[in-house]
Structure 1
Amino acid sequence: MHKRLGEGIHIWLILNMLRFLKDFLIYGLASVIGKIAALLLMPMYTKILTQEEYGIMAMLISVKGILDLASNLNIHSGIARDYYEKGINKTILVSTGFWSILTISISILIIMSLSCNFWVENVLSLHGHELDFILVLLSIPAGSFISYFSILTRFNKQPVKFAIGTIMSLVIQLTVNIYTIAVLHWGITGFFVGTLVGDLFSLIYFYLLNKSLVNLSFDWNYLKRALKYCIPLLPAILAGWVDSSLGQIFIGKSVSYTELGIYSVAVQFASAFTLISMALRNVWAPYLYESYKKPNFQSELDRLFTFFVLLAIFVSCALSLLSNELILIFSNKDYLDACIYLTMLCIPMSFLLLFPIAQSGLSISRNTKFVGIAYIIGSTLNILFLIAFLKKIGVVAVPIGLTISRIVTYFMMYAATRKYSSLHLPNQLLIALILSVLISLVLAYFKSNIILRITFLIIITAFLTVIAIKRLNIINFLKSLVNKAD
């Protein structure tokens, strides 16, 4: 009887994990399609746009990141945290978030528009790109509400509708981009026009899905409760922006926009991690808040962590070992210097992927201030490293500084999670991640023969498969299903 009970619990754990992975794949589908489309359009961008224009586009995208943060104060995360709480009126809660974000985002838009010339000329040194900056500003309110309504769509467990809306928006954006850049020759202006049009479609689509939850109601107590949760996270989000974007701004201001253009190609390929990370973030909060009180949650957490570490190792090695061929296929030989940057970005991007899992205990216990502290310390180390070494060793300082930041942030969050919860993670797997990327970096740096690189990739894949079979208990799961059928 005890044996059958154990088998039943084991099957329940695996099936629950599979349900999680199903939602993960659905939410990630739109991101996958988006990244594939972006890669397919890269030859057009790198052929029509100069390296300097590509760098300026990356600079404006980085600026948009901090403006997006300022326009919503991360209120959507505070609203999402209370969405499943008992005694909460969801309509009043969602409406409170809606009107708060509307007020903040419109205010930011007006203030930044009135001071446009100051930012373009004096801060960013982007003379002649005032229109591009205005287009970035116009997309801010739309982007804030897209984030808000898409979170509600996820919490209402509508992954298919989420994927459909995201994909349709992407198709519209890319169609406009191709027409304005390749046909009308609008340059980077065409890119931001496409972004704005796609955002407007997403805003309308996700609003229609959630309009039943929005009315004229507003509750200050709900807002205060949301702010109490999300304000401590703001330093973490700001530090995250510093890590992901400040390095690019430093390159543009301290080195050149041409070098920034080359580095941005590496970032574009490294965004393969971002699509996995976005899918994980989309499903992790609902999953965590619904599951952490269930029995054997720790076992399920171990399996999920193992799965994502193994996935990060495979993606890191594939990108690193094939970086030369990928860049030649999707851009041209002028961007080959991006190969080393891409390999160096794999470790920090892998650690970023695991952040939601590492901070799980802090999210459950509402000790989110420690997330902010960890991010701030990591980003401070990154900034200090860039200031000290960017001009001495060049662009490679950016991925090195980012690696230092992400590793420090991860282990600080994990240490706090261990302190304020009983959760723990098999972090020894991270050693395999770092070693595999370092070996790949050596092979990429010395431009090893492609046969040698592919052989190493096959060995790594076989190694990961063996670990997956052993640690995820796949064979035992299949045996349990067979025994249950009998």
Structure 2
Amino acid sequence: MYARILKLASHSAVYGVASVASKIVALLLLPLYTRYLTPTMYGTAEVILTLSLFVSAFARLGLQNAMMRFFYDAKPEERMTVGVRNVRAALTATYISAIVAALLLLALRHPLASFFLGDANYTFLIKVAALGLFANIAYSALTATFRLEQRPAAFLAVSLANIAVSTGLTYWFVTGLKWGARGLLLGNFMGFLVLVPVAMAMQRTFIKPLFEWRILKPMLKFALPTIPMAVAYQSLTLIDRSVIRHTGGGLDQLGVYALAAKFAGVVMLVVTALQLSWQPFAYSIEDDGEAKRSFAVVTTWFAAIMGWLVAGLALLADPVVKLMAPPAYEQAGEIVPLLALGTGIFGAYFLVGIGASRVKRPGWHVLVAFGAVAVSLVANLLLVPWLGVMGAAVADVLA
């Protein structure tokens, strides 16, 4: 058991390097970007990014999770035949869905720009959202195959290359070309697009179009009930951003809230690192007794790490924000502790929720997902008009 846990820890550490590097680079560049981007510009970029991620939660069809599960369902000696076919079918369906979703965003660009940005003339940014949706899904689906094969070094190499490309392009677009919110978004999304062909070349075994309903049907039966959880998580982000935009101070205050979320994202480093290695680890344990013991140890350590991390952010957030960002963003420091706590709670749910997926009963996630969305919607509508962005942070914890 402990050998497996040590393997999980080592893989999480490697996966976490890319996430840590990305967050560190983003934080180091914040003083620069916040001097080129007003809170309104930053808020605009946050709306587009949130919209893209929300739609992608549907477009992924939950097939990344299913891909992991059904690859390991195959007997060890059949994983390079049956398992590979399952992965090819999942990737093909995911890419088709991503293209359809991107085209849908393009078709609805005028009403979407009017609702989310308050101006139908912002259609170009909706086009950017469509590009980002496809790029993100294509990249994450491909890099998931590295995790599936438990090849953290390859995953790390591609991830670090993505960080380098996206950082360079974003820096040029924002500071050199002065493209504002558009530059911030395009820099991030183009990094994904550049690395997709590289990942395809590295994972040629899985890159072969395969659409067989016989293979796809059981995968979708397993995957589709997990979509509400993914959509719910993105809905929590979409709800608070939308309510702030309409009733809590507009794009200017949304920019402040988005900056606070960036700092609180330090907690997401641990959550993301664990997420990337947790599914292959959890599904690879065949004995239920060993699984229970392993899950208990991991959950205990996760809770301890989260407690210290959130407490540290609560102490340091305010002075760090004042040091790194202009006065226009000063209020962000007050919001960071609550957003960090909310992120830690979400990570805990992801950890313990794997049990339902392990026994192929993902329907339980639906109840939890809709409950969280309902709480978020009610709490944001009640608290944001009263407390502003602080109300949105409280709602995040409650949900």
How does the TM-score come out when normalised to structure 2?
A: 0.94
Aligned length: 393
Q: In the aligned structure 1, how far is the partner of 2:205 from the partner of 2:286?
A: 29
Segment of structure 1 superposing worse, 106-115 or 357-366: 106-115
Q: Which residue of 2 aligns with 1:290?
A: 284
Task: Could you list the structure 1 runs, at least 4 aligned residues long, displaced by more than 6 angstroms after superposition.
Answer: none
Q: Which residue of 2 aligns with 1:484?
A: none
Q: Within the alignment, does 1:41 sit opposite 2:35 as a pair? A: no
Q: Within the alignment, does 1:141 sit opposite 2:158 as a pair? A: no
AA paired with 2:173?
T
Of the three residues 198, 212, 215, the one matched with 1:222 is 215
Stretches of structure 2 lacking an aligned partner (at least 5 in a row): none
Contact 2:11 2:277 (8 Å CA) reproduced: yes
AA paired with 1:389?
L
AA paired with 2:370?
I
Q: In the aligned structure 2, how far is the partner of 1:16 from the partner of 1:238?
A: 31
Q: Which residue of 1 aligns with 2:108?
A: 115
Q: In the aligned structure 2, how far is the partner of 1:30 from the partner of 1:368?
A: 29
Q: Which residue of 1 aligns with 2:165?
A: 172
**Larger RCO, structures 1/2 (Cα 8 Å, 6+ apart):** 2
Of the three residues 370, 392, 395, the one matched with 1:376 is 370
Contact 2:174 2:183 (8 Å CA) reproduced: yes
- Classify 1:186/1:287 alpha carbon distance in 2 versus 1 (closer, same or farther; 3 Å): same
| Deviation by residue 1:295-325 (Cα, 9 ceiling, x = unmatched) | 5443332221121111111111111101122
Q: In the aligned structure 1, how far is the partner of 2:383 from the partner of 2:118?
A: 23
Q: In the aligned structure 2, how far is the partner of 1:123 from the partner of 1:44?
A: 26
Q: Within the alignment, does 1:84 sit opposite 2:78 as a pair? A: no
Q: In the aligned structure 2, how far is the partner of 1:105 from the partner of 1:360?
A: 25
Contact 2:132 2:189 (8 Å CA) reproduced: yes
Q: Residue 366 of structure 1 aligns to a residue in which SS?
A: coil
Stretches of structure 1 lacking an aligned partner (at least 5 in a row): 1-12, 406-486
Of the three residues 58, 67, 83, the one matched with 2:55 is 67
AA paired with 1:396?
M
Alignment of 1:285-434 (within 5 A): 285-293=279-287, 296-405=290-399
Q: In the aligned structure 1, how far is the partner of 2:112 from the partner of 2:59?
A: 17
Question: How far 1:48 moved relative to its partner?
Answer: 0.8
| Deviation by residue 1:99-122 (Cα, 9 ceiling, x = unmatched) | 212222212222321332221124
Contact 2:46 2:255 (8 Å CA) reproduced: yes
AA paired with 1:104?
S
Question: How far 1:69 moved relative to its partner?
Answer: 1.7
Q: Within the alignment, does 1:250 sit opposite 2:250 as a pair? A: no
Which protein shows a greater Rg? Answer: 1
Q: In the aligned structure 2, how far is the partner of 1:122 from the partner of 1:395?
A: 20
How does the TM-score come out when normalised to structure 1?
A: 0.77
Question: How far 1:239 moved relative to its partner?
Answer: 1.1
- C-alpha root-mean-square deviation of aligned residues, in Å? 1.7
Of the three residues 176, 181, 194, the one matched with 1:188 is 181
| Deviation by residue 1:416-469 (Cα, 9 ceiling, x = unmatched) | xxxxxxxxxxxxxxxxxxxxxxxxxxxxxxxxxxxxxxxxxxxxxxxxxxxxxx
Q: Within the alignment, does 1:234 sit opposite 2:255 as a pair? A: no
Contact 2:111 2:120 (8 Å CA) reproduced: no
Of the three residues 20, 39, 55, the one matched with 2:43 is 55
Contact 1:172 1:198 (8 Å CA) reproduced: yes
Question: How far 1:294 moved relative to its partner?
Answer: 6.5
Contact 1:34 1:170 (8 Å CA) reproduced: yes
